[in-house]
Amino acid sequence: MTNGQNDSLNSFKKNIIQINLVSLPPLFTNLNQKWIGIEYQRSINRNFSITLMTDLGKFQDYSFTKYHDYFDENQGFSFTREDVQISGYHIIPSVRYFVLQPFKKINLKIYTNLNLDYYHYFMKKEVYYSLTDRLDKINNSTYRFNVGGGIGAQYIAFGRISIDLNISILTKIYSNTSNNTLSELYPENSFWKSSNNSSWATINLMLGYAFGNKKHKK
């Protein structure tokens, strides 16, 4: 191994800024959902780092129309249309512990993480009843404090480019909803949720840039 390669493996970057690739596809399509995830990572030492991540934007934007039975003698031909928008943000601080570097010559590390997650969602719903030509407007908001943990892998390519895959499971510890007649707004950045929406899982695929050299003391 050359001296340059040794220097790369014996040093690490103090700072990494990453973007969540999971959030990117809707930004470049005609889908109404537009959100983005950004993370900053600060290395404490060779084994520990802290991160701060945010997901923010419009997570849901859709319309649903229900047509009533044409032969309904009370309503005749009529429909009900719902227009729903859900926007909000997550603030997610995390502590990472890098437990394993499986290949000595490759800057790939396996880590575990402990997360806190605060999110605040806002819902706007309009319900139109064609039979009576009535429009109802419904608003709701939910904020939650959550805690969880996960596992991930981070690879630094060419000493600068970071690729990070993480899976975390979180659970609710406190929540509040502004409209008590409606259900809580559940986490929209999840790929799995429990039946009562108190626990969920997220998967993040991050691409970023590492900077700020810090030598590892042998």
Residue 175 is assigned to a structural domain of this protein: yes
CATH number of the domain enclosing 43: 2.40.160.20
Residue 42 is assigned to a structural domain of this protein: yes
Residue 139 is assigned to a structural domain of this protein: no
Structural domain containing residue 206: 3-61+87-121+150-210
> Would the pLDDT of 215 be above 70?
no
Whether the Cβ atoms of residue 210 and residue 15 lie closer than 8 Å to each other: yes
Least confident of 23-27, 49-53, 98-102, 125-129: 23-27
Residue 132 is assigned to a structural domain of this protein: no
pLDDT, tens only, 74-106:
556 788 899 999 999 999 999 999 999 988 788
Residue 70 is assigned to a structural domain of this protein: no
Residue 135 is assigned to a structural domain of this protein: no
Residue 195 is assigned to a structural domain of this protein: yes
Overall number of domains in the chain = 1
- Rounded to whole angstroms, how far apart are CA atoms 164 and 153? 6
Residue 215 is assigned to a structural domain of this protein: no
The runs of H, that is alpha helices, within 11-92 are none
pTM for this entry: 0.83
pLDDT of the residue at 76: 63
pLDDT, tens only, 41-81:
999 998 999 999 999 999 989 898 888 765 556 556 788 89
pLDDT of the residue at 70: 57
- The one-letter code for the residue type at 1 is M
Q: Please count the other Cβ atoms lying within 10 Å of the Cβ belonging to residue 75.
A: 16
- Rounded to whole angstroms, how far apart are CA atoms 103 and 13? 18
